Amino acid sequence: MSARRRTLLACLAALLGLGGCAGASGLDVRYPEAAANRALLASVTSRRVEIQPVTDGRIEVSRIGVQVEKKKNKDVVTARPVTDVVHDALAVEVGKNGHAVVAERGDIVLAANVEDFWIDVVRSYSTTQYVGKVAIALIVLDGRTGDQLVSRRYVGIKRRQVDKASDDAAREVMDATPR
């Protein structure tokens, strides 16, 4: 297997862990560096990685969910644009695995599109269930030629059940990868 192919596969394997990155209800959402794990991406020679601006292909870009409160719907939103949260998550994963994130002319270029970024909040008499889902389409390009090396879709789902509903529980569901 060529070094280029190994690098490409390593990038994809490491980024698969991006499962649930983001946030809810106007909260400051992030992808904590502690959530990133050194993975297969760390086993290849260090590369300069350019991350293009993340695009948002969701139908409803203004919200990430709806929460019913006293028979009224309340939009669940992030404090920062979802595209910024995903871009930062990619940068954390790349950096944590020993690669340098550069503004331009990377050996590898990552292009990401957010396809789904949603949280469902289901209340019952005694508990609240939070279910977060993130889907990202990732394209890896050769930084020299611009040729597409691979295209892959990543989906992450995280659930949490709590006794008392809270913004912290919602943020935790959308913040980081499942534990």
3-state secondary structure 35-94: HCCCCHHHHCCCCEEEECCCEECCCCCCCCEEEEECCEEEEECECCCHHHHHHHHHHHHH
How much is the pLDDT for 114? 96
How much is the pLDDT for 20? 35
- DSSP conformation class of 107: S
**Amino acid at site 43:** S
How much is the pLDDT for 67? 79
From first to last of its 179 residues, what are the pLDDT tens digits of the chain?
444 444 433 343 333 333 333 333 475 677 778 777 777 778 888 999 999 999 999 999 998 888 777 778 888 888 899 999 999 999 998 999 899 999 988 999 999 999 999 988 888 888 888 888 999 999 999 999 999 999 999 998 988 888 887 778 877 888 754 33
How much is the pLDDT for 167? 76
- Asked if 64 contacts 77 with a C-beta cutoff of 8 angstroms, the reply is yes
Phi, psi of 12 (to 5 degrees): -65, -40
Please name each of the domains of the chain with its CATH number.
Answer: 3-175 (3.40.50)
- Asked if 172 contacts 159 with a C-beta cutoff of 8 angstroms, the reply is no
Phi, psi of 141 (to 5 degrees): -115, 150
Q: How far apart are the first and last CA of the chain?
A: 32
How much is the pLDDT for 76? 85
